[in-house]
Structure 1
């Protein structure tokens, strides 16, 4: 099978896929922030939430509905910071996924990835990782929203968790972005084969 990648390039392609998958899975999962409300576990992502209060008209009481879902609209996301975080992190994940899929195609198609294209792809990965990292840095600014405070015993604030804790999805997203920025960007410099010089 023809390949336009060096041995280092194959490692780069596989690592790129792994980083993109980690960031995308972490971004989609609503387990960035964990807490409790009405003795039920509650978790938040940037645009999704698990367990939320609803009004039970039969019992004339508020009960916790234990299921996960997206917010009904973009403006339904609890804070402006989380809306920005959703867009920035989503774009970053899209860039990482685009480069990872292109790198995988480079394993099967000759002359697809040259040294220059490999370096450009590495630059795109760096930007993608930077965007995701920015999203992760913005996320704690939304901890002062009413929804989060209700879940964290009204003791949370910007960069203060209160009784809540950071979930695995936040770490997964950040780790994928960090690996893409540091490892993948460096490996991409050696990923493409030198192109043959033709006399014409």
Structure 2
């Protein structure tokens, strides 16, 4: 018989994982990792003030009088290292891998309402373990990113003083901190899976099962 068990701690674990995943996804997609100095462009009948930025694989700059954001990794990992630094390729790979793993734990989190085990292993403990792996992948990518600050792309934006772990005239953008939040929440979510598992296997749940209930909702 399939028992649907919904607990407040289980839902909180799922929401925590969702926020961690969305925060990591937002950080990966946005070009706001490095914020360049404000620039002034004098056109024929107008003066435009803009701030160029660069992300892991994309950037925002002024093109034909308009702020244009788009990828510079037009050939993916095959893009020349001068255009798409090799260390940023590794950064993208690790963050995307962590994001994929977190997405799988989201699916397992939804499944946990009906299924508590996979191959006789607790779905919560398995999810918590792979969430820890996801956190390691994401933090590895974030550590790799500053190694690319000495690349020609960053030096054109931030000046010749830019070097690994030093941004010269630029500043760190909000996307980097968004990724850091994703890492922290991923580890917290992985730890909280233990609490969610205890809630599902609590004595209150067992009492409802013995009464023959198939839908059990507890705070």
Distance, in Å, in 2 between the alignment partners of 1:187 and 1:83 is 32
Which piece of structure 1 moves more, 185-194 or 27-36? 185-194
TM-score, scaled relative to structure 1: 0.82
Decide whether the 8 Å contact of 2:112 with 2:123 is kept in 1.
no
Correspondence for 1:17? 18
Structure 2: unaligned runs, 5 residues or longer: 41-49, 210-219
Q: Aligned pair in 2 of structure 1 residues 3, 15: CA closer, same or farther (>3 Å)?
A: farther
Looking at CA atoms only, which structure, 1 or 2, has the larger radius of gyration?
Answer: 2
Name which of structure 1's ranges 136-145 and 32-41 shifts more when overlaid on structure 2: 32-41
How far off is 1:111 after superposition?
Answer: 2.5
Q: How many angstroms apart in 2 are the aligned matches of 1:122 and 1:66?
A: 42
Which residue in the other structure is 1:60 paired with? none
Runs (4+) of structure 1 moved beyond 6 Å?
A: none
Runs of 5+ unmatched residues, structure 1 = 54-62
**Within 2, Cα distance between the matches of 1:5 and 1:91?**
29
- The alignment partner of 2:13 has SS state of helix
**Superposition TM-score, scaled by structure 2 size:** 0.75
CA distance in structure 2 between the partners assigned to 1:167 and 1:113 by the alignment: 41
| Aligned counterparts of 2:139 and 2:173: Cα–Cα separation in 1 | 16
Aligned to 2:158: 152
Report whether the alignment pairs 1:50 with 2:60: yes
Cα gap change, 1:65/1:146 in structure 2, threshold over 3 Å: closer, same or farther?
A: farther
Distance 2:90 2:22 in 1: 21
